[in-house]
Amino acid sequence: MSSKSQFLERVKNRTAVVAVVGLGYVGLPVAVEFAKQGFKVIGIDLDSRKVDAINSGASYIPDVPTAEVEALTRVGKLSASTDYAVLRDADSVSICVPTPLRKTRDPDMSYVIASADEVAKYAHPGFLIVLESTTYPGTTDEILLPRLRARGFNVGADVFLAFSPERIDPGNKQYGVRNTPKVVGGYTSDCTDVVYALYSTAIEQVIKVGGTQAAEMVKLLENTFRAVNIGLVNEMAIMCDKLGVDVWEVIEAAKSKPFGFMPFYPGPGLGGHCIPIDPLYLSWRMKSFNYNARFIELADEINMNMPRHVVGKIAEALNDDGKPIKGSRILVMGVAYKKDIDDVRESPALDVIKLLGDRGAAVDYHDPFVPSISLEHAGGHGDKKSAPFTGDLVRAADCVVIVTNHSAFDYALLSREAKLIVDARNAMARLNVGGARVVKL
């Protein structure tokens, strides 16, 4: 029996052992979903705190209930380790490690390379390797393929290699791993068949594409589409501001058109592990073809400048009250990159706080999901802790800035007690504003 046939048989009867490298926002939900479908799943992460949490039956990801982790670990379907040697007992591995940008705005592939080295070391006949980390087209074939061949494997016959872009949306209550369609592309057609068979057990709809580069490009198109359109609407907000037009009213009216328009909304900038980063992977890749990805570069420039635009609005609003930024007390509401999650990666709030501090403001922040932050991610220094939300905190602020519109915020209290609110999310739109003067983005 061929390696492919043996793998498909183990998948069919649920005797295949599934490994997941990287147990963060992407990897843990994937691991849990495979375990829920009856597979024995081994998670691998170098962070011993995550490993200890899983092995004790606890979740540290809001989208994954602790009750699910506890139930799966109790019956032996889910475990975790810091040692890649557990791959000797696995039939597949899904690599879900970070792919950040360096300060020079080019890809940092160190996590993928380190994982690829370890995975190749423990690869064995019949093994499936799936890269899920978002990256530039060609990564799977350029980084993983040579390492497997160097071990003497015939990829597509002895072992199988594929790319499947992650589509995790933290905080999304409607779409999770199981009901979000999954794209898969293998190095060969047999690789595609194998990865399709495995992922079809855990995900309702799996879509095959012609190869690893096509699968890699799918994710980049998805997030470039969003980054460019957000850049467009952010520039529209700036233009509307100069014209004295309410951009939120314009968008609301425009979206009444039942065809040819999809609403996007302006904000204080882009955040998270995907939209601010992924398009720049493609832009960087295209430079090797002597091609300039102009839409991507322009959208990035506009989106990166939005925190400065927000600080400019704060300065103008304070000036109207006869106050400079320097010496003013400013309360930033929300530092997560989007509502109702605890993730601050690439959050524009960190840039807003740093820029305000650079101009001499005394800045506090409140976020029920984020107890503390490091400003080093925004080029600053030191840490800040979330201030307890009270009426006294709001009244003491010369300006309140809504950067992240968490559902838990008491907007009515803000409306009653704040002197001035700069609302970068249009969160106050549906309230009858009390004593506060509200300035929109």
Q: Which long-range contacts (CB under 8 A, 24 or more apart) does 143-151 make?
A: 143/109, 143/112, 143/113, 143/116, 144/116, 144/119, 144/120, 145/187, 147/116, 147/117, 147/119, 147/120, 148/120, 148/123, 150/120, 151/120, 151/123
What's phi and psi for 206, nearest 5 deg?
Answer: -120, 130
Residues 159, 157: Cα–Cα separation, whole Å: 6
Pair of tokens at residue 112: 């993928």
Of 68, 385, 441, 378, give the one whose Cα is nearest residue 237. 441
Structure tokens at 438: 């509200």
Are 146 and 111 spatial neighbours (Cβ–Cβ below 8 Å)? no
Whether 184 contacts 191, CB under 8 Å: no
Annotation marks residue 274 as catalytic: yes
Nearest alpha-carbon partner for 353 in 382, 375, 386: 375
Q: Active site residue: 96, 191, 240, 274, which one?
A: 274
For the chain, counts of helices (H) and of strands (E): 15, 15
Please, which residues have CB within 8 angstroms of residue 197's CB and are 6 or more apart in sequence? 7, 8, 11, 12
What region, left, alpha or beta, does residue 224 occupy, with left being phi > 0 and alpha being psi -120 to 50 degrees? alpha
Residue 435 amino acid letter: G
Active site residues: 274
